[in-house]
Amino acid sequence: MGRFAREKQTIKYPYVSGDDDLIVSTTPQLEGYRIERYIGVVFGDAVFDAAFSKIEAHFARDRAVAVHSMVRKAREIGANAVIGLSFNCGSFQRQGSKREICTISAYGTAVRVRNLAES
């Protein structure tokens, strides 16, 4: 499983953070919340060997690993939400090798939001 094995065991689906306090959305705004501060772009990646993985069977899991990594990084820099979630997928071969390596990247904007109902 490689270096992401520990993370894969802790993934919840859909994308729910461990304390349920970090919101992840593909939208640029969150209904009922006001963005107080834009912190910055955050990334999370999952890397796997295509030769040892049925890509279709593991794609959702590996995508969740990428999101989990991104959420962890967002929390580390003080965010309580990530907006504009997007994904990027790719593959490459190591020089001199026939093995294909696949990557899934999750990225979005880390922000601090405030629930308008609690104001």
Three-state DSSP class for residue 75: helix
Report whether 73 contacts 42 (CB < 8 A): yes
- Position 107 scores a pLDDT of 97
- Position 4 scores a pLDDT of 38
Please report which residue ranges of the chain form alpha helices under DSSP H.
5-9, 55-76
- Position 11 scores a pLDDT of 41
- Position 52 scores a pLDDT of 58
The domain in which residue 9 lies consists of 2-118
pTM beyond 0.85 = no
Q: Which of 72, 60, 64 is nearest to 106 (CA)?
A: 64
Segment-wise mean pLDDT, segments of 10 residues, the chain, 119 residues: 37 47 91 96 88 66 90 95 94 80 93 89
Residue 19 sits in a domain whose CATH number is 3.30.110.70
Q: How many domains does the chain have?
A: 1
Three-state DSSP class for residue 99: coil
